[in-house]
Amino acid sequence: MWTGNNVTRPFRVVGAAVLAPVIDRGLKGIQEKLNLPSQMYAFALVLALWLLYASQSLVY
């Protein structure tokens, strides 16, 4: 398990570095479209919607 974790670590780091600007642009777009005061509100909205979706998929 330790070896597998360390083998995949560089891929996870690169993946996070590649996705960070994409996620940032998405949150900024949500913030601007909904006139939210900060990206934290956009993140909270996305998180709440994701949790709602996840909880509904557990029921069915």
Q: What is the pLDDT along the chain (60 residues), one digit of tens a residue?
A: 778 888 999 999 999 999 999 999 999 999 999 999 999 999 999 999 999 999 987 776
Phi-psi region of 36 (alpha: psi -120 to 50; beta: other; left: phi over 0): beta
Give the structural domain span for 16: 2-59
Residue 22 pLDDT? 97
Q: Residue 46 contacts by C-beta under 8 Å, 6 or more apart in sequence?
A: 27, 30
The confidence score (pLDDT) of residue 60 equals 64
Number of domains in the chain: 1
